[in-house]
Amino acid sequence: MAGKKSDIRNISFQELLDWILENKFPKFRAKQIYDWLWKKSVTSYDQMPNVPKAIKDGLKESFDFSFLTVADEQVSEDGTIKAAFNTPVKQTVEGVLIPTSSRMTACISSQAGCSLACKFCATGRLKLLRNLLPGEIYDQVAYLKNQASTRYEINLSNIVYMGMGEPLLNYANVLKSIEHITSPEGLGISPKRITVSTAGIAKMIKKLGDDKVKFNLALSLHAANDAKRTEIMDINDTNNLATLKEALEYFHERTGTRVTFEYIIFKDFNDTIEDAKELAEFAKCVPCKINIIEYNPIDDGEFEQADPKKVDAFAKFLEEKCNLIVHVRRSRGKDIDAACGQLANKNKTGNVVFKN
């Protein structure tokens, strides 16, 4: 019985080159094929017109070719596009294209489901099924990049790993996906345009520093005292604020990169000036900017969107009294299932239903 074939997008360029040479095809064909895979984002060997049929037949015989397919898509009145993708084994993951006046951002997933169960997050209601492979992460970017150019005639400007899953618990595959996205042999997007967001895995933040990554790092903070943060994020039990502070200082020392603090602001939970003072105190640990994010409520959730006046007062205090760089991210896609995990939970197409 023959062994299971490798997927063409899970092998390295060197492995592809070795196959080309072993089969006595010209060496240059390896780069040609690699360009079709990672620069032109094809989804079939038959979409490689300048590759001879004999090579394509050999590839089909030797390697599988799997990719994400679009299972559902919603377009908001504000232009936000939410896509649900099916993996080859029929698990659903999500990606979002967020257009604003100054940028076109793709928000992508790194895992199918999530193990962290943050109380405010729809994805937290989905059990972790598996880590996404580099190609599956890349596919989300390629699709949303195409949507940006065809639907809005604007180039994709930014990528954020803030969708389903915890990127630092899928470390190797996330970094490999970024390699394909940023490489001149891939999509050629600058790593400075990429932000990886973590709920706070201190040892992996330090590993990012050791690896001297070129992309940006965001910490999903949401509360700057341990009691409140633990209440909404179980991860804080094992990665408390003091531990995270040390890891962030190490990361900045090794990379020189400014950190972003993501702070979802909830009604009557973390929206007071006292909360802002705690945030400002914690933010002193590294050069940073702060994104205050309006909450996008989830079905049957216990948290609500904060009063806009309190959001503005919160941001104003941080800017004027604490001299911090602050951006308020207004809620997008309010008329669609825009909160991360909602579309997978609802599964309007009937492809997959997640249950705890």
Supply the residues annotated as catalytic. Answer: 94, 340
SS (H, E, C) 174-193: HHHHHHHHHCCCCCCCCHHH
The answer to whether the beta carbons of residues 81 and 70 sit under 8 Å apart is no
**Integer Cα distance of 189 and 187 in angstroms:** 6
**Integer Cα distance of 321 and 273 in angstroms:** 11
N-to-C CA span, the chain: 37
**Amino acid, single-letter form, for residue 313:** A
Residue 355: Cβ within 10 Å count: 7
Handedness of CA 135, 171, 176, 290 (dihedral sign): positive
Which phi and psi (to 5°) does residue 260 adopt? -105, 135
Tokens 């007071």, residue located:
272
Residue 18 makes CB contacts below 8 A (sequence gap 6+) with none
- Cα distances (Å, whole numbers) of residue 353 to 64, 108, 343: 27, 20, 10
**Integer Cα distance of 108 and 140 in angstroms:** 6
Nearest partner of 67 among 163, 129, 143, judged by Cα: 143
Q: Radius of gyration over alpha carbons of the chain, in Å?
A: 21
**Integer Cα distance of 239 and 282 in angstroms:** 15
- Cα distances (Å, whole numbers) of residue 48 to 25, 27, 64, 69, 141: 16, 16, 15, 19, 21
